[in-house]
Amino acid sequence: MEIQFLLSIILSSSLLLFLLKKTITRNYSRKTDAGLPPPSPPALPLIGNLHQLGRRPHRSFQSLARKHGPIMLLQLGRVPTLVISSAEMAREVTKTHDVVFAGRPRPIAVDIFLNGHNDFAFSSYGDYWRRARKLCVIELLSQIRVQSFQPVRREETVALVEKLRLASGQAVDVSALILGVVNNIVARCVLGRRCEGRGADILLRLQREGGHDLDLSWGNIKAILVDMMIGGTDTTSTTIEWIMTQLARHPSKLQKAQEEIRRVVGQKLVIEHEDLAKMHYLKLVIKETLRPRETLDNVEVAGFGIAVRTRVLVNTWAIQRDPTVWENPDEFIPERFENSPVDWKGRDFQYIPFGAGRRGCPGLSFGTVTLEFVTANLLYWLDWELPKGLRCENLDMKEVYGLTTHKDKPLFLVPIPHSF
């Protein structure tokens, strides 16, 4: 009797697991209207391929892509997810089939956080998204508007430099200070009372005056401002953190960048925004540091059928370290961009730190000028040393995957005011 009961349990469990696996995999194991799906690694019931990701998913995606190809379908829980790991495939999804891949899933957490109101970062492609993005680009992120924020960038950067000068000879948490200054710049430009023409005032004025093609509720205004705060702070501060980390690890590159900046500025002792255009090597350093969607319909990519509502992840980390495209991809070599036409504006698909296509970053101008101005001041006014006992080759370079790929441990450096 007990044996029959155990056999019944085993058979029932086996049948249940079989049905679960069939249910989970049916979305990507069957042929779609567009054709057969891309290659997929074996998946487990319920969790799919989640067990294969680890703490640094971007590296796991790269490793899996080496086995299964640059276009690969994973099952992350119940969500079919297309992972793109080459420049050619990135061109397919961000240019050739741009409209189909312009959708965005709407996580429940976003709805809760924004109280159900529409921002534009997580809005799916459609009329509202087009109008909201156009409004932000024209009214908040245009070249004229970005230039109008120069006093804010200068005041906050000067305050940061003064803090570092007062800490001369002491090891300081550079990561925290950089996050603070970028947060202050973005907050003042978006919300701050001292910033003339702040983002909130602009949106409220547009709400009162009307005359545009987007009906702005107070909830939508708050949601758009949240997009700008999150999108403008973490990405920029993380990039500056990595710039300082790489330069601290490569003293000759640090010296070369400092010599150029000090030569451009000369005896003025003030960095003007106009000076940034002359800092050629600084731009190479930033480019080298930066080297590290949901479908709306069935579509065929590279001969594979992609089902509607498949999530899409373009692994720029892997693409920008592809040894078939980049020589010595794991080495920090700003000079690789010398006389190179490759730029970050989304036209060169082997290098897309700001994205490409319709979903490319609308705040590119705001972000790059903040990157350049803050970094130039840090290198102009201060010399930098590693904490006592730490050698360049032992500097921790581990990263953590998140909204951005930031350092696992904060960067500590010793600032020394430069003697002019």
Whether 247 contacts 384, CB under 8 Å: yes
Strands 311-314 and 79-84: parallel
Q: What is the pLDDT of residue 286?
A: 95
Whether 401 contacts 160, CB under 8 Å: no
Strands 172-173 and 299-301: unpaired
Asked if residue 299 belongs to a domain, the reply is no
**What is the share, in percent, of the chain residues with pLDDT greater than 90?**
45
Weakest-pLDDT range from 38-52, 132-146, 169-183: 132-146
Residue 46 pLDDT more than 70? yes
Kindly state whether residues 201 and 275 are assigned to the same domain.
yes
Mean pLDDT to the nearest integer, 225-244: 86
Asked if residue 308 belongs to a domain, the reply is yes
Residue 366 pLDDT more than 70? yes
Kindly state whether residues 220 and 310 are assigned to the same domain.
no
Mean pLDDT to the nearest integer, 375-385: 97
Asked if residue 312 belongs to a domain, the reply is yes
Residue 200 pLDDT more than 60? no
Kindly state whether residues 21 and 158 are assigned to the same domain.
no
Mean pLDDT to the nearest integer, 385-397: 92
Asked if residue 296 belongs to a domain, the reply is no
β-pair partners for 306 = 299
* End-to-end Cα, the chain, rounded Å: 92
- In whole angstroms, give the CA distance from residue 244 to residue 253: 11
Asked if residue 109 belongs to a domain, the reply is no
Q: What is the pLDDT of residue 284?
A: 96
Q: What is the pLDDT of residue 196?
A: 44
Domain count, the chain: 2
Kindly state whether residues 13 and 37 are assigned to the same domain.
yes
3-state secondary structure of 299: strand
Grade residue 276 by pLDDT with cuts at 50, 70 and 90.
very high
Q: How far is CA 79 from CA 23, 56, 63, 71, 402, in A?
A: 12, 19, 20, 16, 19
Read off the CATH number of the domain in which 189 is found: 1.10.630.10
Kindly state whether residues 287 and 358 are assigned to the same domain.
yes
* Nearest Cα residue to 89 out of 354, 340, 299, 342: 299
To which residue do tokens 């370079």 refer? 397
β-pair partners for 382 = 417
R_g of the chain, CA atoms, integer Å: 24
Asked if residue 186 belongs to a domain, the reply is yes
Kindly state whether residues 181 and 64 are assigned to the same domain.
no
- In whole angstroms, give the CA distance from residue 375 to residue 185: 14
Note the pLDDT tens digit of each residue in 64-121. 999 999 999 999 998 899 999 999 999 998 888 888 887 877 777 777 766 666 777 7
Whether 179 contacts 156, CB under 8 Å: no
Mean pLDDT to the nearest integer, 179-204: 70
* The dihedral sign for the CA sequence 320, 326, 332, 333: negative
The reply to whether 361 sits in an annotated binding site is yes
Kindly state whether residues 247 and 348 are assigned to the same domain.
yes
Asked if residue 105 belongs to a domain, the reply is no
Kindly state whether residues 50 and 185 are assigned to the same domain.
no
User: Domain range holding 44?
Assistant: 1-94+304-320
* Nearest Cα residue to 292 out of 243, 222, 259: 243
Asked if residue 102 belongs to a domain, the reply is no
CA geometry: angle 97, 121, 228, nearest 5 deg: 140
β-pair partners for 75 = 80
Beta strands in 56-163, from DSSP E residues, in sequence order: 71-76, 79-84
- The one-letter amino acid code at 174 reads V
- In whole angstroms, give the CA distance from residue 105 to residue 175: 32
Kindly state whether residues 81 and 150 are assigned to the same domain.
no
Grade residue 194 by pLDDT with cuts at 50, 70 and 90.
very low
- The one-letter amino acid code at 243 reads I
* Nearest Cα residue to 165 out of 395, 386, 371, 384: 384
The tokens for 111 are: 């709805």
Grade residue 6 by pLDDT with cuts at 50, 70 and 90.
very low
- The one-letter amino acid code at 69 reads G
To which residue do tokens 């040894």 refer? 323
3-state secondary structure of 414: strand
Chain centroid to CA 413: 25
Kindly state whether residues 336 and 314 are assigned to the same domain.
no
Kindly state whether residues 60 and 167 are assigned to the same domain.
no
Residues whose CB falls within 8 Å of the CB of residue 22, separated by 6 or more in sequence, listed in order: none
Kindly state whether residues 169 and 240 are assigned to the same domain.
yes
